[in-house]
Amino acid sequence: MKTWSAKPEEVQRKWWLVDATDKTVGRMASEIAKVLRGKNKPEFTPHIDTGDFVIVINTDKVKFTGAKWNDQKYYKHTGYFGSIKEVTAAEQLEKDSTEILKAAVVGMLPKNTLGRQQGMKLKLYAGSEHPHSAQQPETLNL
């Protein structure tokens, strides 16, 4: 018996819609990362991108547990010496709420070319509107 492996041209991709209203960031991010990698499909192959596209709306209404709004930090380096910037989750929510969920999901994907390719299939929007209605996304219950 031979082990079956998915081919890139055989992969069927679907579009999923997730409403992030009142969802915990970490628990939601782990489920989204599974769908982006394709681990929810029986034809999952580790070295092939078998994942689906995920659209997340209402990222400005996510929640954290505990005191993470002030304890969780996001770092950015400008490229100059000693110029690392630090922002708390509450400040990041006011600036750009999509970056909170993007950092959580991308951190759960592989750190290689395949992980970057899978991360590009994540579409994040702060409001309830998105421009992907032509793809007819199905609702993903988390």
Query: What CATH number should be reported for the domain holding residue 115?
Result: 3.90.1180.10
Q: What is the pLDDT of residue 1?
A: 78
Q: Structural domain of residue 51, as residue ranges?
A: 14-65+96-132
Name the pTM for this structure. Answer: 0.93
d(CA 80, CA 126): 31
Q: Is the pLDDT of residue 142 over 90?
A: no
Rounded mean pLDDT of 45-63? Answer: 96
Element holding 25 (H helix, E strand): helix 25-37
Rounded mean pLDDT of 7-31? Answer: 96
Span 88-107, pLDDT tens digits: 999 999 999 999 999 999 99
Q: What is the pLDDT of residue 39?
A: 96
Residue 140 lies in a domain: no
Element holding 99 (H helix, E strand): helix 98-106
Q: What is the pLDDT of residue 76?
A: 94
Domain tally for the chain?
A: 1
Residue 110 lies in a domain: yes
Per the CB < 8 A criterion, the answer to whether 55 and 128 are in contact is no
Q: Is 22 left (phi over 0), alpha (psi -120 to 50) or beta?
A: left
Considering only CA atoms, which of 90, 94, 16, 106 is closest in space to residue 57? 16
Q: What is the pLDDT of residue 4?
A: 87
